[in-house]
Amino acid sequence: MKIAVASGKGGTGKTTIAVNLAVLLASRGNPTTYLDCDVEAPNGHIFLKPEIRHTRKVGVPVPEVDMGLCDGCGDCGEICQFSAILVIKGGVLTFPELCHGCGGCSLVCSRHAIKETDREIGTVEVGAAGAVRYVGGRLRIGEAQSPPLIRAVKSDMPADTTVFIDAPPGTSCPMIEAVRGADYVVLATEPTPFGLNDLQLAVETIRELSIPFGVVINRCDIGDERVEDFCRHQDITIIEKIPYDRLAAEEYSKGHLLIEGSNEMKKHFDRLTDWIVSSVV
């Protein structure tokens, strides 16, 4: 099973939920993998402290034009929907940072003047944190296109384990790429006006993708009832409500797993894991 942990906004405890669930499920003897697909700001490794066994570079194909063969017809520029290649006064300009690597420009070039070369966009790290298999992506600083790297992280996803996918926050292309193909999505939120607003956006997105989902309300005792009211009116399952805990916050700030530093937090994650095992896995 592939379980994505996502959120409409950052700071709701998405990574905290994903890493603690992965470790707790693995401790019960279930083969478990954690994928850090928040490649622009990966931080799962802070809590899991994995031993990285190998690293590989990830690139995307970008066009390279042989001006000796090019006749300036402009077909390549017309097919590109992202203006990554333009023909101006018989010359060709390429913008690799805008290229999505579709290969359309080389396909329509009748003179075979365009070939593709790889441009590095980031790295994928593979290792283990105890019984948890770890795969994480790290986007190069300044890169704008994270979905190809997210796909590369997911390509290392084994078929014989329960997989927790730590998705990027928000509801744009990176989040959608991360949760695509998941069997279930856990949406992390908080009982604040911002939490409700972004939960509504996330719910709309996940429903558009037709993926079953439920909600975990983090710091459930510091806000109001509007998130719970929304879930009740929308017939959304609230899987678990996790209260604010000063000890847990201190452990979090030190990069420690909550299930190892707070007995109260472990009870909540035990219930959350039980629900996932019985209802999803």
Output the pTM of the full model.
Answer: 0.91
Q: What is the mean pLDDT of residues 269-279?
A: 92
Q: What is the mean pLDDT of residues 187-194?
A: 96
What per-residue confidence (pLDDT) applies to 261? 82
Alpha carbon distance 229, 82 (integer Å): 42
37 token code pair: 């697909």
Cβ atoms of 160 and 281 closer than 8 Å: no
pLDDT at 108 over 90: yes
173 token code pair: 């292309």
Cα Rg for the chain, rounded, in angstroms?
Answer: 22
Per-domain residue ranges for the chain?
2-58+122-279, 67-112
Alpha carbon distance 226, 199 (integer Å): 11
pLDDT above 70 covers a percentage of the chain that reads 100
| Nearest CA among 21, 17, 33 for reference residue 159 | 33
Q: What is the mean pLDDT of residues 33-41?
A: 97
pLDDT at 90 over 80: no
What per-residue confidence (pLDDT) applies to 117? 92
What per-residue confidence (pLDDT) applies to 102? 87
Q: Kindly report the CATH number that applies to the domain delimited by 2-58+122-279.
A: 3.40.50.300
Regarding beta strands 2-6 and 132-139, do their DSSP bridges make them parallel or antiparallel, or are they unpaired?
A: unpaired
pLDDT band at 162 (very low <50, low <70, confident <90, very high): very high
CATH architecture of 67-112: 2-Layer Sandwich (3.30)
Sign of the C-alpha dihedral, residues 184, 188, 191, 194? negative
| Nearest CA among 214, 219, 206, 165 for reference residue 186 | 214
Sequence-distant (≥ 6) Cβ neighbours of residue 141 within 8 angstroms: none
The residue type found at 49 is: K
